[in-house]
């Protein structure tokens, strides 16, 4: 077993972004070998093709035990925070995963900033940081289209229905990103890519944006999923393949039941059992040959409470100081104060939520590189506004014109949101 957790934690605890202050319970992103940003180049490394983008793969301490591969299976469990997986392992709920850990690599990584699905998936499918690809949050002001867009569901942020209706504005998901996607990059080097998604999101605008030159396979149940993944490995075994598996039920439960609800741990167990029973235990030697399995997450979760005091509509004085409602994430927000209202905005935050948010000029955040290294997206200054609000503790703001339905949240920089697992093992050992 290559247990590098102590070494990795020492790297993650090292100071980063010295111009920005951090609380003890916060964990800023790591972009140079110990974070989610380094996974796309890692996939390329394992498949022995040139890296995508300009960012390195994971540190060699995490890669050395894996060697090279002909097939890489990357399983993304949305919301599977580091401590949740540890809890499942300590409870003995994932015996097959324990076997993988014993023969492979198991360590924490950091998510990106913001620690949210749409930004993280875009990073994983481009090898670019949020600063580079420009998908910097759940809701983003797109100056070109004159609206605040929900970039997860591809609809104007005020819409309650109408997934993918953003295309009615002239938005073209296939042309939105300024960087190549991983599917395009791998195809250019002879690697076939396939994405396994629940049938409800298979043809979404986000899928169209990310999965260029990728074959998409829809599934409805975990059993069907793992039968189909095995079939993909069995088909044309001499061909290099990248297989992507996305599972969203853990995240959904954390949002609506809370990250510490027993149903969340039960869902981790149920998904892990299906992976073990219908995939790991059922693989033939041919399907195992030169195959590496990676299991990770996009972000974690932190528990919050529904407090009407955090509803922006209850604070008209703050609303008057802003051009538009905050954008981005409820725990990492982008603020657009009116001219001459910056001090009033700051004073209102401190008076109303004392110590709950750190407000930092957006230019300082971008210069520090919090949203990642690389050449910034040309529209980035518009998308992050004039000030960035970083939540402390379990604080958040809610500005949507509907009841707050979230108990678990992410997007911020707490350790619970930022620390994600990286479990990797060869399946032919």
Say whether both 390 and 419 belong to one domain: no
The Cβ-side half-sphere exposure at 211, using a 13 Å CA radius, reads 23
Say whether both 362 and 386 belong to one domain: yes
pTM: 0.97
Query: Residue 103's domain is classified under what CATH number?
Result: 3.40.720.10
What pLDDT is recorded for position 161? 82
Query: Residue 312's domain is classified under what CATH number?
Result: 3.30.1360
Query: How far is 62 from 106, CA to CA, in rounded Å?
Result: 8
Say whether both 277 and 351 belong to one domain: no
* CA-wise closest residue to 52 among 121, 3, 108, 125: 125
Say whether both 232 and 314 belong to one domain: no
Q: Are 333 and 397 in contact (CB under 8 A)?
A: yes
Query: How far is 11 from 110, CA to CA, in rounded Å?
Result: 11
* Domain span holding position 262: 5-303+415-426
* CA-wise closest residue to 173 among 252, 113, 118, 112: 118
Per-residue tokens: 354:
């004392």
Domain total for the chain? 2
Tens digit of pLDDT for each residue in 186-238?
999 999 999 999 999 998 999 999 999 999 999 999 999 999 999 999 998 88
Q: Are 337 and 320 in contact (CB under 8 A)?
A: no
Say whether both 149 and 248 belong to one domain: yes
Say whether both 65 and 85 belong to one domain: yes
Query: How far is 18 from 417, CA to CA, in rounded Å?
Result: 21
Say whether both 285 and 336 belong to one domain: no
Q: Which mean pLDDT values do the consecutive 10-residue runs of the chain (429 residues) have?
A: 82 95 96 98 98 97 95 98 98 96 96 98 98 98 95 91 88 95 98 97 95 97 97 93 98 98 98 97 97 98 97 96 97 98 98 98 98 98 98 98 94 98 96
What pLDDT is recorded for position 137? 98
Q: Which residue has the tokens 């994600």?
A: 420
Contacts of 209 (CB under 8 A, 6+ apart): 122, 154, 173, 174, 176, 177
The sign of the torsion formed by the CA atoms of 12, 13, 19, 20 equals positive
**Bridge-partner residues for 190, per DSSP?**
none
Say whether both 270 and 315 belong to one domain: no
Say whether both 259 and 319 belong to one domain: no
Per-residue tokens: 174:
């296939």
What pLDDT is recorded for position 163? 86
Say whether both 215 and 260 belong to one domain: yes
Say whether both 245 and 334 belong to one domain: no
Say whether both 93 and 181 belong to one domain: yes
């Amino acid at each position: 077993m290559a247990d590098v957790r102590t070494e990795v934690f020492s790297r993650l605890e090292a100071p980063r972004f010295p111009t920005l202050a951090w609380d003890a319970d916060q964990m800023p992103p790591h972009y140079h070998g110990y974070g989610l940003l380094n996974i796309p180049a890692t996939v390329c490394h394992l498949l022995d093709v040139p890296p995508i983008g300009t960012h390195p793969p994971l540190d060699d301490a995490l890669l050395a035990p894996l060697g090279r591969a002909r097939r890489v299976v990357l399983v993304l469990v949305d919301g599977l925070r580091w401590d949740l997986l540890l809890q499942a392992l300590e409870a003995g709920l994932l015996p097959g995963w324990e076997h993988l850990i014993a023969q492979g690599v198991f360590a924490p990584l950091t998510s990106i900033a913001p620690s949210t699905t749409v930004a993280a998936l875009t990073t994983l499918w481009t090898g670019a940081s949020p600063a580079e690809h420009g998908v910097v949050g759940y809701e983003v002001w797109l100056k070109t289209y004159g609206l605040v867009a929900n970039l997860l569901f591809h609809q104007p942020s005020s819409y309650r229905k109408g997934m993918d209706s953003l295309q009615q504005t002239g938005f073209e998901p296939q042309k939105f990103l300024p960087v190549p996607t991983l599917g395009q990059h791998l195809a250019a080097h002879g690697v076939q890519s396939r994405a396994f998604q629940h049938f409800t999101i298979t043809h979404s605008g986000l899928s169209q944006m990310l999965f260029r030159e990728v074959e998409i396979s829809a599934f409805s149940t975990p059993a069907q999923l793992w039968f189909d993944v095995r079939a993909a490995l069995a088909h044309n075994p001499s061909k290099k393949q990248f297989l992507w598996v996305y599972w969203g039920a853990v995240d959904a439960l954390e949002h609506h039941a809370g990250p510490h609800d027993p149903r969340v741990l039960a869902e981790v167990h149920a998904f892990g059992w299906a992976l073990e029973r219908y995939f790991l235990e059922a693989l033939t030697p041919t399907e195992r040959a030169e195959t590496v399995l990676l299991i990770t997450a996009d972000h974690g979760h932190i528990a919050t409470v529904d407090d009407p005091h955090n509803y922006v509509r209850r604070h008209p004085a703050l609303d008057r100081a802003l051009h538009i409602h905050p954008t981005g994430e409820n725990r990492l927000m982008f603020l657009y104060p009116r001219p001459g209202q910056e001090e009033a905005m700051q004073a209102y935050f401190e008076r109303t939520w004392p110590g709950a948010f750190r407000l930092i000029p957006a230019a300082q955040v971008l210069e520090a590189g919090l949203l990642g290294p690389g050449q910034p997206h040309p529209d980035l200054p518009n998308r992050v506004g004039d000030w960035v609000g970083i939540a402390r503790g379990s604080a958040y703001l809610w500005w949507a014109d509907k009841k707050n339905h979230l108990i678990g949240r992410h997007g911020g920089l707490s350790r619970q949101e930022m620390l994600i697992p990286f479990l990797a093992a060869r399946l032919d050992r």
